Amino acid sequence: MFPLHQTGRLLAIIFISVLSILGTPSLPAVAQDPINVVVTIPVLKDFTEQVGRSHVRVTSLLSGYENEHTYSPKPSDLIAVRKAQLLFEIGIGLEVWVSSLVKNAGSPSLRVVTTSQEIGLVQDHLDHHDAHQAGEEAQSGGNPHIWLDPENAAIMMRHITEALIKADPAHAVDFRKNQATYLLQLDQLRKELSERIKRLSDRRFVAHHPAWPYLARRFGFEIVGTIQAQSGTEPSALQLQSLIAKIKKDRIKVIVSEIQLSQKIPELLAKETKSRVVVLTTLPGGVPGTETYLDMLRYNVLQLANALEAA
């Protein structure tokens, strides 16, 4: 028999030895709350969720049906921004309403990330009258609809990934892995759509408003005219007459409009010129079946290709 104090010491030694063999059981990990992220438009929500997965909680201020230029923030948007650690925006004058929203939220810890950084911008070719109408967009240094080119989407996703890593370095490996997986899917879709476009003999169209130069540049479409210099402005009767004459003379068969805009003028032009209107969406969720960026990109390119081919 061992003395009582020696027995206790012996049991402690045995316990430690067993642990060294079996491995010390790890304590339950303290679950880190997801990063609260606010984004201005749904495409940024999709990108953020693709990279962050369960490590992020994302609120998009726009749902997909609104006009991103003329959106008016709601009280719930202010609350969401106050709770957020990160806010992702496009920039380039697209969300002219976001700076006052951030200022009113008054959150010193909020980090605003502009995802258009390092992207080569397309300049809108506007005459003096149209440039005056376009206001902020014309003065911002380029067309802001950058995400409609998948190559730009990859750059935007890199900005988002780096911001998430800075906010939550413990999950950096997950963020980078998720980004790489998504970029492979994006590149595969780009190749598939490029193959589809090769069959088109005529790639010309008239745009409702200047949302499509990045998509056109990437996939080889040609925008031969624009109805509105910017959403919210109306073309004059003289401008409409000139556009009708051009559509007839050049035999343009397709007018591209957007679900976020009124279809009245495009339908009027189509009736006058016997062209057809194809309604696309600049934002995921604008049309049923376009809830993700990949779905939206596929929908827009295929709908436009089918319309041009049918015409």
Is residue 145 classed as helix, strand or coil in its secondary structure? coil
Task: Check whether 32 has a pLDDT greater than 90.
Answer: no
- Domain positions in the chain are 35-191, 193-310
Candidates 35, 268, 55; CA nearest to 171 is 55
Residue 158 to residue 291: CA distance in whole angstroms? 21
* pLDDT tens digit sequence for 115-163: 999 999 998 764 433 444 444 444 457 999 999 999 999 999 999 999 9
**CATH topology of 35-191 equal to that of 193-310?**
yes
* pLDDT tens digit sequence for 243-298: 999 999 999 999 999 998 999 999 999 999 999 999 999 999 999 999 999 999 99
Task: Give pLDDT, residue 29.
Answer: 42
- CATH architecture observed for domain 193-310: 3-Layer(aba) Sandwich (3.40)
* pLDDT tens digit sequence for 57-87: 999 999 988 888 889 999 999 999 999 999 9
- CATH topology for 35-191 is Rossmann fold (3.40.50)
Q: Could you give the residue ranges of the DSSP H alpha helices within 168-255?
A: 172-197, 213-219, 237-250
The answer to whether residues 239 and 171 touch, using CB atoms and an 8 Å cutoff, is: no
**pTM (2 decimals)?**
0.84
Task: Give pLDDT, residue 231.
Answer: 62
Residue 22 to residue 20: CA distance in whole angstroms? 6
Task: Give pLDDT, residue 311.
Answer: 76
% of the chain beyond a pLDDT of 90: 78
Residue 282 to residue 296: CA distance in whole angstroms? 8
Task: Check whether 179 has a pLDDT greater than 70.
Answer: yes
Candidates 237, 246, 254; CA nearest to 303 is 254
Task: Give pLDDT, residue 273.
Answer: 97
The answer to whether residues 84 and 58 touch, using CB atoms and an 8 Å cutoff, is: no
Task: Check whether 16 has a pLDDT greater than 90.
Answer: no
Phi, psi of 259 (to 5 degrees): -60, -25
Residue 284 DSSP class: T
Task: Give pLDDT, residue 67.
Answer: 85
Quickly state the pLDDT bin for 219 (edges 50, 70, 90). Answer: very high
Residue 86 to residue 109: CA distance in whole angstroms? 9
Both tokens of residue 217? 């540049």
> Which residues, in sequence order, are CB contacts of 47 under 8 Å at separation 6+?
88, 153, 156, 157, 160, 293
